[in-house]
Amino acid sequence: MSQWHPQPDQLVEFAAGTCHTGMSVAISVHLHYCTQCRTALSELESTSAVLFEQQSAVPVTDSAFEQLMQRIQREPEVEPVVEPVNNRFPKALSTLLPASLDDLDWRQPMKNLRVSHLMTDESGMIIGLHHMKAGARVPNHYHRGEEISVVLEGGFSDQLGSYGAGDFILRTPDDTHSPQTDAHEDCLMLSVVAAPVKLTGALGWLLNPFLKA
Amino acid sequence: MSAANVISILSSKKARTMTQTSQTADDWADLLEAVARRQDTKAFEALFKHFGPLIKAFALSSGLHSQGDHLPEELVQDVMLAIWRKSASYDRRKAAPSTWIFTIARNQRIDMLRRLNKYRADVSADAIWDLESDTELFGEIRQSRIQDKVKSGLYDLPVDQRQVMAKVFLEDKSHQEVADEMKLPLGTVKSRVRLAMKKMKLSLEALDL
Ligand SMILES: [Zn+2]
């Protein structure tokens, strides 16, 4: 069971479908590990459904049902659902991945850290993977915007706690931290960042992996 | 008012309540199963008559028409088509019919907005909200109990809280956008939603660690 969760209002926006794609993907991955949040989501969706049913209905055009049945006859075949080629992770993330993580375009800003940029969403959030070697320590840094990390494999700790698979960690611009990977296992994380991170120390340039040179 | 009048009002009220309660979640679930098992078009038409106008209201409250007059009707078509095609995956032990239909409407709206705004569809709404709820956790009885709790809870809410709930849950607006629109501080919008959830005794509060 995961110990670190999205905030209630983030789950509300997820249930309503109003958060940006980066946040949605991060929450979706967390939900695969967390029964507690799945229960909360189910209740939020029930709440939405009750509000949905209590709306004042707006009549549809008279021919709408007929048109729909014609469309069903015209397009009887359901387009095949494209299943992700990668099944190692929850679906929301897997759809963004090639069969092997080695096929990703990895950059290595530090000896013990590899990062890969998967996509930039409609709000400018960057969705990526971070791979930290066992026992690695990332120098102290702060964030210009929000940073969300969801641990996929392994674990790490920083000044505020320690984290394992499924944990959802939100860092706001004011937080400074220096993550340290668990000693015996590499750590793979989903990362969603608003803006490239900036190191507080002299190694600043190293941790700007998403800033294309 | 004459006694006869009162009785006729009472009985028409009663009749109205009866027609409303005669369509329970169970009935909608039966209809969805009829569509899945026999491709029953009569059952599908009954679902369309009830849910089509609600989907249209949902599209309008989300402001879809501002991006094209035809879009609310298009959303109705897309959602009902998806219901027809996915009906076999409906499981009444996992979700009340209206909850299942709401999630389809939400996902179709997200995908439609992405298409309209030409965002790359690297990841579809169905891939993000692919969560199969756990049967053992939820179950049919629990599902209808949650809906009952929500219904009576919403009924008891003060108007300002209800209004915020409707905006946050249906109108495709983030807490921030609702706050801007209602000229309220962001914290007030968030706390109204949380207070409402608390009043309904839903477990979201358990997450307040
Ligand atoms: Zn959780």
CATH number of the domain that B173 lies in? 1.10.10.10
Per-residue model confidence as pLDDT tens digits over A93-148: 999 999 899 999 999 988 889 999 999 888 888 999 999 999 988 877 766 778 89
Average pLDDT value for chain B:
83
Is B152 domain-assigned? no
Q: Do A72 and B168 touch (CB under 8 A)?
A: no
Residue ending a domain, choose from B106, B138, B170: B138
* Same domain? B106 vs B164: no
Q: Is residue B144 in some structural domain?
A: no
Q: How many domains does chain A have?
A: 1
In a domain, B193, yes or no: yes
B148 located within any domain = no
Same-domain check for residues B107 and B197: no
CB A176 within 8 A of CB A142: yes
Q: What angle do CA A29, A18, A87 make, to 5 degrees?
A: 20
Q: Which domain holds residue A5?
A: 1-213
Task: Give tens-digit pLDDT for A14-26.
Answer: 999 999 999 999 9
Contact (CB, 8 A) for B157 and B197: no
Q: pLDDT tens across A11-55, in order? A: 999 999 999 999 999 999 999 999 889 888 988 999 999 999 999
Q: Are B177 and B95 in a shared domain?
A: no
- Is some CB atom of chain A closer than 8 A to the CB atom of B56? yes
- Residue B197 resides in a domain: yes
Q: What percent of chain A has pLDDT over 70?
A: 85
State whether B24 and B110 are in the same domain.
yes
CATH code of residue A55: 2.60.120.10
Q: Clarify whether residues B7 and B86 are in a common domain.
A: yes
Q: How confident is the model at residue B80 (pLDDT cuts 50, 70, 90)?
A: very high
Q: How far is A202 from chain B (nearest CA, A)?
A: 36
Q: Which residues in chain B are contacts of A19 at CB distance < 8 A? A: 174
Compute the radius of gyration of chain A from its Cα atoms: 21
Tokens representing residue A181 in the block: 């990977």
Using one digit for the tens of pLDDT, what is the confidence trace for B156-192? 888 888 899 999 999 999 999 999 999 999 999 999 9
Same domain, B170 and B209: yes
Query: B18 and B119: one domain?
Result: yes
Total domains in chain B come to 2
What is the interface pTM, i.e. ipTM, of the complex?
Answer: 0.86
Does one domain contain both B51 and B115? yes
Q: Which is more confident, B131 or A113? A: A113
**Chain B residue numbers touching A169 (CB-CB < 8 A):** none
Backbone angles phi, psi at A192, to 5 degrees: -125, 115
Instruction: Collect all residues of chain B within an 8 Å Cβ-Cβ radius of residue A57.
Output: 53-54, 56-57
Going from the Cα of A4 to the center of ligand 1, the distance in angstroms, rounded, reads 6
Do B183 and B126 share a structural domain?
no
User: Does the structure show a pLDDT above 70 at A76?
Assistant: no
Q: Which of A2, A3, A7, A18 to mutate to test the interface with B (most CBs of B within 10 A)?
A: A18
**Quick one: what percent of chain A has pLDDT higher than 90?**
55
Distances (CA, A) of B90 to A41, A71, B6, B37: 18, 22, 44, 11
pLDDT band at B120 (very low <50, low <70, confident <90, very high): low
What CA–CA distance (Å, rounded) separates A34 from B147?
A: 22
Residue A178's Cα: distance from chain center in Å?
A: 21
Q: State which residues form the domain around B190.
A: 157-209
Q: Among the three residues B138, B166, B193, which one is the final residue of a domain in this structure?
A: B138
Tell me whether residues A28 and B131 touch, CB distance under 8 A.
Answer: yes
Based on the fold, state whether residues B31 and B92 are members of the same structural domain.
Answer: yes
Assess whether B121 and B178 both reside in one domain: no
Nearest CB partner across the interface for A68, out of B58, B77, B177: B77
Query: Mean pLDDT across the stretch B71-91?
Result: 95
DSSP B132-179: PPPTTTSHHHHHHHHHHHHHHHHHHS-HHHHHHHHHHHHSS--HHHHH
Same-domain check for residues B103 and B169: no
